[in-house]
Amino acid sequence: AQKITQTQPGMFVQEKEAVTLDCTYDTSDPSYGLFWYKQPSSGEMIFLIYQGSYDQQNATEGRYSLNFQKARKSANLVISASQLGDSAMYFCAMREDAGGTSYGKLTFGQGTILTVHP
Amino acid sequence: KAGVTQTPRYLIKTRGQQVTLSCSPISGHRSVSWYQQTPGQGLQFLFEYFSETQRNKGNFPGRFSGRQFSNSRSEMNVSTLELGDSALYLCASSLGWGQGSYEQYFGPGTRLTVT
């Protein structure tokens, strides 16, 4: 079963508008973390935002916010005021604690290509 | 603070050869993870090292191996290269176990082409 599902292969948004990229996850581990990364055409993965499963508030980093709905197992990324430079592939990823045995292992979704139009 | 560096950035090898890729983590980071990215399989976890010990391993054949040195730099080796090993290999560094932070920062990757 897919642990991370990104159902939107591609998304389009007008410059300066907000956009939401969907991510649902599947885990039975009570302790886990969710990440969003941006990958421009250059290939480098750029860390955007992190949300821990026990965090009470939704994570925010500048124009990025993570809409964390634990009961629905969703962790959508919201980008406000889109810019042309936001055009890239976006990946949702999960780290499961596995009883403290798994620290640096991320499971990634298939990604969503975001295109920002002027 | 310098980011994660990976060398070489591009590599072309022939089937059957072996290759070694290098990753230098962010200063102070002690955990290094490796990932393979292909158009068909997406991003897949290879292995993770912390304090020179392999802590986790993904579902890859034994041809894929790695190690970490005392300065936290890591290398991965692929022996007997196959065409399907052509991929972008990404290294990520983080503070490490018990440090209270799980954020992983990626390097620019090594693009390996096997002919």
Cβ atoms B114, B18 nearer than 8 A: no
* pLDDT tens profile A29-49: 998 999 999 999 988 899 999
Residue A1 reports pLDDT greater than 80: no
Low-confidence ranges of chain B (pLDDT < 50): none
Residue A50 reports pLDDT greater than 70: yes
Inter-residue long-range contacts of B10-14, CB under 8 Å, 24+ positions, other chains counted: B10/B110, B10/B111, B10/B113, B11/B110, B11/B111, B11/B112, B11/B113, B12/B112, B12/B113, B12/B114, B12/B115, B13/B81, B13/B112, B13/B113, B13/B114, B13/B115, B14/B81, B14/B114, B14/B115
Cβ atoms A75, A68 nearer than 8 A: yes
What is the DSSP secondary-structure string of A51-106?
A: EETT-SS--EETTEEEEEETTTTEEEEEE-S--GGG-EEEEEEEEE-GGGT-SS--
Residues 6+ apart with CB under 8 A from B41: none
Cβ atoms A75, A66 nearer than 8 A: yes
Residue A66 reports pLDDT greater than 70: yes
Structure tokens, B4: 């994660």
SS3 A8: coil
Region A5-15 average pLDDT: 96
Q: Are the beta carbons of B111 and A105 separated by less than 8 Å? A: no
The confidence score (pLDDT) of residue B99 equals: 65
Confidence label for A69 from pLDDT (cuts 50, 70 and 90): very high
Q: Scanning every residue of chain B, which has its alpha carbon at the shortest distance from the alpha carbon of A92?
A: B43
What is the distance in angstroms between the Cα of B15 and the nearest Cα belonging to chain A?
24
How much is the mean pLDDT over chain A?
Answer: 94
Burial class (CB within 10 angstroms; exposed 0-12, middle 13-18, buried 19+) of B5: middle
Q: Are the beta carbons of A104 and B55 separated by less than 8 Å? A: yes
Q: Are the beta carbons of B106 and A44 separated by less than 8 Å? A: yes
**Which positions in chain A touch B96 (Cβ < 8 Å)?**
103
Nearest-by-Cβ selection for B56 from A45, A93, A104 = A104
B86 touches chain A (CB under 8 A): no
State the Cα–Cα distance between residues A90 and A88, nearest whole angstrom. Answer: 6
**Which positions in chain B touch A104 (Cβ < 8 Å)?**
31-33, 48, 50, 55-56, 92, 94, 104
Q: Are the beta carbons of B104 and A46 separated by less than 8 Å? A: no
Q: Are the beta carbons of A108 and B58 separated by less than 8 Å? A: no
State the Cα–Cα distance between residues B75 and B68, nearest whole angstrom. Answer: 6
